[in-house]
């Protein structure tokens, strides 16, 4: 840049320098002027009109950036945490009916120190797998208090908190998790969770929000819709300002879960083992579960506010939530804890596959005899006090159907079942159970 004696300024920029110049002085500089400067032309300097300067300053002042949606929600959550006098974390809705998840439990999962369970049967949960989650823990403790707009609420679930899967998230404006006690909060539990809803005076203008959404389950092969609508309006009347708000929500969820759980591996002798010590690691049990359900959740909310004076606001709210679940499930288990006489093992003579460590991978399993004779379990020989007619052996050959001694201590040991006297009651002190190849599945 060179200033000449006649008052003009010569600015010569290469292409890259022109781009940097544009970035630094983009406000109030036209693209045409930058192009001329980039070409290396000489421009005379003229004095600007004072009126034009004021007008341009006014236009710049009127331009403002309004932050909304997710960024505003994060800003509000940070403000709550910063301004609170106790340990609190918050999740704020982007807009009416737009919490970031489809259930309150999943919303709470976003807070540090909060975890949810998808199998919890306590605290309002269900033992079947739950897609949306059920039951929460804060800092590892499951019993927590719950509030709705600062007032304590709870469900008939044997705990001090509400059943979180019954709460309609579309009606919520935010969720606050208090991790420490405060004088104005009701004590009880490891923490306190406050669900907040909108009120009419939260909005300056008339609001109408309609939210539609849905999901598709690849297993259940059905669509799950959800819809919510909110209307809010403020009125200036002769008795003060009045605001009304109505919020309705409905969601339906089809879900299906199928799972198979393999029990603990037990080390046992197996002729087919790939290990030098002859051990194989065989699972002791198998559990399976199939669950299919349809969940409908209805929610309705009304809020009325009246502000008769600048220092007095009266608020009335009505909150309704209903949760209907129709489910069908089937489950079972197969297995047995190994003992000295019976264990789950690969069927002798059938194909079996192990990994490099000797753990079972593929084959046919059954509960069979281990080949060991254990007194009073599968044999009575060597007792020293039983009569000869009760000396029996139920078989102890490895891999054969298992059998054990069945005792009836109400029988008379002195009576020989093979030659009973007249009037014998038919009771036998010891006898072998029928051979069994596997354990009976339980439903």
On whether both 48 and 189 belong to a single domain, the answer is no
Mean pLDDT for the stretch of residues 111-130: 62
Task: Let me know if residue 364 belongs to a domain.
Answer: yes
pTM for the model stands at 0.56
Closest CA to 402 of 364, 428, 425, 373: 373
In the 8-state DSSP scheme, what is residue 411?
A: S
Handedness of CA 369, 370, 372, 378 (dihedral sign): negative
Out of 32, 62, 92, a domain closes at 62
- Structure confidence at residue 156 (pLDDT): 63
- Structure confidence at residue 250 (pLDDT): 93
Closest CA to 250 of 170, 339, 158: 170
- Residue 352 forms beta bridges with which residues? 363
- Structure confidence at residue 100 (pLDDT): 58
Task: Let me know if residue 23 belongs to a domain.
Answer: yes
The two three-digit tokens of residue 277, written as one number: 């010590």
| pLDDT tens figures, 178-191 | 877 777 666 656 67
In the 8-state DSSP scheme, what is residue 219?
A: T
Between residues 160 and 75, the one the model is more confident about: 75
On whether both 83 and 54 belong to a single domain, the answer is no
Specify the range with the lowest mean pLDDT, choosing from 63-67, 98-102, 134-138, 154-158: 63-67
The two three-digit tokens of residue 192, written as one number: 């306190």
Task: Let me know if residue 317 belongs to a domain.
Answer: yes
On whether both 86 and 171 belong to a single domain, the answer is yes
On whether both 133 and 224 belong to a single domain, the answer is yes
- Structure confidence at residue 248 (pLDDT): 93
The two three-digit tokens of residue 266, written as one number: 């037990």
Tally the domains of the chain.
3
d(CA 105, CA 298): 17
Closest CA to 344 of 443, 433, 406, 266: 266
On whether both 17 and 119 belong to a single domain, the answer is no
Out of 46, 62, 78, a domain closes at 62
- Residue 228 forms beta bridges with which residues? 211, 249
- Structure confidence at residue 46 (pLDDT): 44
Provide the CB-side half-sphere exposure for 86 (13 A, CA).
13
Q: What is the mean pLDDT of the chain?
A: 76
Cα dihedral 106, 109, 115, 118 in deg (nearest 10) = 20
Task: Let me know if residue 349 belongs to a domain.
Answer: yes
Task: Let me know if residue 276 belongs to a domain.
Answer: no
On whether both 360 and 396 belong to a single domain, the answer is yes
On whether both 11 and 129 belong to a single domain, the answer is no
Closest CA to 308 of 253, 355, 405, 238: 238
The two three-digit tokens of residue 404, written as one number: 């054990």
Chain length of the chain: 443
d(CA 308, CA 420): 100
- Residue 406 forms beta bridges with which residues? 431
Closest CA to 115 of 133, 100, 98: 133
| pLDDT class of 315 with cuts at 50, 70, 90 | very high
On whether both 354 and 326 belong to a single domain, the answer is no
On whether both 131 and 181 belong to a single domain, the answer is yes
In the 8-state DSSP scheme, what is residue 171?
A: G
d(CA 163, CA 17): 63
| pLDDT class of 56 with cuts at 50, 70, 90 | low
On whether both 257 and 342 belong to a single domain, the answer is no
Closest CA to 16 of 38, 43, 42: 38
d(CA 58, CA 344): 85
Task: Let me know if residue 270 belongs to a domain.
Answer: no
The CATH number of whichever domain residue 293 belongs to comes to 2.170.130.10
Provide the CB-side half-sphere exposure for 427 (13 A, CA).
10
Is residue 35 over pLDDT 60? no
Is residue 71 over pLDDT 70? no
Q: Look at residue 68 and give its three-state secondary structure.
A: coil
d(CA 41, CA 274): 87
d(CA 345, CA 268): 8
| pLDDT tens figures, 279-308 | 999 998 888 888 888 989 899 999 999 999
Mean pLDDT for the stretch of residues 317-322: 90
In the 8-state DSSP scheme, what is residue 140?
A: T
Given a contact cutoff of 8 angstroms between Cβ atoms, the answer to whether 154 and 193 are in contact is: no
The two three-digit tokens of residue 182, written as one number: 């405060």
Cα dihedral 154, 160, 165, 166 in deg (nearest 10) = -10
Task: Let me know if residue 277 belongs to a domain.
Answer: no
Strand ranges across the sheet with 172-178 = 88-92, 172-178, 192-197, 145-148, 151-152
The residue behind tokens 């198979």 is 260
- Structure confidence at residue 128 (pLDDT): 57
Task: Let me know if residue 309 belongs to a domain.
Answer: yes
Is residue 7 over pLDDT 50? no
Beta pairing class for 207-217 and 265-269: unpaired
On whether both 177 and 126 belong to a single domain, the answer is yes
On whether both 171 and 117 belong to a single domain, the answer is yes
Look up the domain containing 51 and give its range. 2-62
């Amino acid at each position: 840049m060179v200033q000449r004696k006649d008052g003009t300024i010569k600015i010569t920029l290469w292409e890259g320098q022109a781009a940097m110049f544009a970035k630094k002085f983009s406000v109030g500089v036209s693209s045409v002027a930058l192009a001329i400067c980039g070409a290396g032309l000489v421009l005379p300097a003229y004095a600007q009109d004072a009126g034009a300067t004021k007008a341009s300053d006014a236009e710049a002042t009127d331009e403002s950036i309004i932050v909304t949606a997710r960024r505003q929600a994060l800003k509000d959550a940070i403000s709550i945490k910063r301004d609170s006098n106790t340990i609190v974390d918050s999740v704020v809705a982007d807009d009416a009916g737009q919490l970031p998840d489809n259930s309150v439990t999943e919303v709470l999962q976003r807070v540090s120190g909060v975890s949810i369970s998808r199998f919890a049967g306590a605290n309002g949960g269900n033992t079947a797998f739950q897609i949306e989650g059920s039951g929460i823990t804060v800092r590892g403790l499951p019993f927590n208090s719950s509030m709705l707009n600062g007032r304590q609420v709870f469900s008939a679930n044997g705990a001090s908190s509400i059943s979180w899967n019954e709460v309609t998230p579309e009606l919520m404006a935010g969720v606050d998790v208090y991790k420490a006690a405060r004088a104005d909060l009701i004590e009880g539990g490891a923490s306190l969770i406050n669900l907040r809803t909108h009120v009419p005076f939260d909005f300056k203008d008339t609001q109408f929000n309609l939210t539609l959404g849905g999901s598709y389950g690849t297993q259940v092969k059905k669509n799950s819709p959800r819809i919510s609508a909110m209307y809010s309006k403020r009125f200036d009347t002769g008795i003060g300002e009045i605001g009304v708000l109505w919020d309705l929500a409905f969601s339906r969820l089809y879900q299906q879960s199928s799972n198979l759980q393999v029990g603990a591996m037990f080390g046992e002798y197996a002729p087919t083992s790939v290990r030098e010590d002859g051990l194989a690691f065989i699972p002791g049990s198998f559990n399976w579960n199939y669950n299919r359900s349809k969940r409908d959740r209805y929610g309705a909310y009304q809020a009325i506010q009246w502000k008769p004076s600048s220092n007095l606001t009266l608020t009335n709210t009505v909150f309704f939530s209903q949760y209907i679940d129709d489910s069908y499930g089937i489950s079972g288990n197969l297995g047995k804890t190994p003992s000295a006489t019976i264990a789950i093992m690969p069927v002798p003579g059938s194909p079996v596959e192990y990994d490099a460590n000797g753990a079972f991978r593929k084959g046919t399993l059954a509960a069979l005899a281990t080949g060991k004779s254990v007194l009073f379990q599968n044999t009575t020989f060597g007792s020293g006090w039983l009569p000869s007619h009760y000396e029996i052996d139920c078989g102890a050959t490895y891999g054969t159907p298992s059998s054990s001694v069945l005792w009836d201590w109400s029988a008379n040991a002195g009576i020989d079942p093979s030659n009973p006297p007249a009037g014998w009651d038919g009771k036998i002190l010891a006898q072998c159970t029928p051979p069994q190849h596997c354990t009976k599945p339980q439903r």
